[in-house]
Amino acid sequence: MIRLKAAHMRGKIPQSCRNHGRFSRQALMQFLVLILSVLLLPATCKKAAEIPGILLKPPGEGPEVTDSSPRPGSGGVKPETKVYLQFDRPMNKRSVQDSFSLSGTVRASGSFRWEGNRLYYDLDRPLQPGESYELTLSKNASDTEGKTLALPYYVSFFAGSRVDGPGIESSIPAPNATGAPPGTAIEINFSRPMDESSVEKAFSINPSMEGFIQWSEDSISFRFMPYKSLEVGRSYQINVSSDARDREGIALANRYSSNFQVGDDFESPEVLNVYTSGNPVSLMEGRTGILKNSTFTIKFNEPMHYQKTLESVTLRERNGSPPVNVELSWSENFTELKVEPSMALEPETEYRLRVGTGAMDQSGNTLDSPFTLDFTVDDPSGELNSGFLTLKEVRKVYPARTRIFEFGEDQINELPLPAPHEAGWSSEFELEFSHSIRKSTALPENITVHQIAGAFSSSVYIESIKFPEDGRIVSLMVRGLHPNIYRLSIKGQRNGIKSTKGQAASSTRMKSDQVVYFRPEEG
């Protein structure tokens, strides 16, 4: 009996016991789900952070943004990119526009425009390359039925290919440099190719000066070359404002400013000596015997500025005549300047050689005061041609005895001659000069005889011009003389009679024309 009861018990479970078993299994399943959720929570939250906001919207009937430009995760966009939001249904336009904002590191103004369920924000100007922007639509945006967004919509992006601005990597002269040469060109080197026009507008130098800019082929660097030398001892500041932009239009990351000082030599140069060619004795010691064909050498105490010094040197007569044309040339080390007149100097004439205060050394220092040297072209030993050619004597040697004439406008020399021939008298004159005469200059146009007064008709003329063995004498045979007053003219100056060349000097000439008045008479 006991065994049968037990068998009965196994075959039939009471109802209360069966209900208790179902409850226990359900509770167990719920407990397991709870434990699993707790274990997976960190990973789930991490993944959720990576999902765009548009996909995390809780289920509901509110409006949604189905597309936008730029889109979430766009990063860099083109400056001309269109800005819009696309909705899944008709929207309350006013609420959307009031909930919309586009802000960034620079202002992005624009106007709204709708096309169906799409809101455009038309920019007044393209986005600024290198600048960051945030497009936001708040939860207050609603559809036409008043239902609002479940979550705000947010997009972060930047314009262009990058957000870092270009920089200036170096400049010449270096910041805080001293000893920059006066002829220095200022050089700026950037980190990448630049928009040349914007850089030139952003560049300045203080004190300001005029010059021109030369760019490298890759537009990474430029040189500013001043038209005038920088001033020795002065400090300069170069500036490049943040208005400078690269080729993409991205502004300079930081305004650039640099200072430098010109020169480290502040001593004025000096003229040490002046020499003439072939003579080691300084003209500053009062030396005489200076040839009219002399070349002068000015010696300085240090290397000089090539052009500035040339512009400061003059040679002229002491009487205030215009400067003599000279050819100037430098020694290799720029300490000696050769001054070579283009034409022979005037004999027996005082000159002044001057070096003005514009003369500058290579550090930009100028002479403290003008240097002047006065000298006279005179007769050096053995070289007569550095003096003027002079007409020493005019005499009648035929016919009858020799008669010497006096020069001058107020002297009329009486010339006794034998009874005249029907055609008039003939007479031989000799002109004696201080130098041997170059025969080619004793031309009829340089030696003339003219009647200036008298009642007798005359056809006076010079029949011949001869040169005796003594090269200093010119012989004239004059025919057709009558008892009139005549003028014998011997032309001087540059186009007149000249001497032969000397050993170290060119031919010389008379300083002025010479005239002799005479009147033939029977006697």
Question: What is residue 3's predicted lDDT score, i.e. its pLDDT?
Answer: 38
Half-sphere exposure of 169 toward its Cβ, with a 13 Å CA cutoff? 10
Fold of 271-382: Immunoglobulin-like (2.60.40)
Residue 209 in tokens: 């000066």
Q: Where are the alpha helices (DSSP H) in 154-305?
A: 196-202
Q: Which residues contact 26 (CB under 8 A, 6 or more apart)?
A: none
> Would you state the structure tokens that stand for residue 72, as one six-digit string?
């979430």
Mean pLDDT by 10 residues, the chain (523 residues): 37 42 52 51 41 48 94 91 96 97 91 96 93 94 95 94 90 92 92 96 96 96 94 91 93 94 87 87 78 91 94 92 94 96 88 95 89 84 66 93 90 87 85 92 92 87 90 93 93 89 74 92 83
What single-letter amino acid sits at 61? E
Architecture of the domain made up of 388-522: Sandwich (2.60)
The alpha carbon torsion through 376, 379, 380, 386 (nearest 10 deg) reads: 80
CA dist., res. 301 & res. 299, Å (int): 7
Q: What pLDDT is stored for residue 380 in this prediction?
A: 56
Task: For domain 65-159, say whether CATH 3.90.45.10 is its number.
Answer: no
pLDDT of residue 523: 75
pLDDT at 421: 64
Given a contact cutoff of 8 angstroms between Cβ atoms, the answer to whether 312 and 356 are in contact is yes
* Residue 29 neighbours by CB under 8 Å, 6+ apart: none
Q: Identical fold at 168-262 and 271-382?
A: yes
Q: Could you tell me how far CA 144 lies from the centroid of its own chain?
A: 69
**For the chain, what are the domain ranges?**
65-159, 168-262, 271-382, 388-522
Options 2.60.40.3710, 3.40.50.300, 3.90.650.10, 2.30.30.100; CATH of 168-262: 2.60.40.3710
Whole-model pTM: value is 0.45
- 145 in Cβ contact with 89 (< 8 Å): no
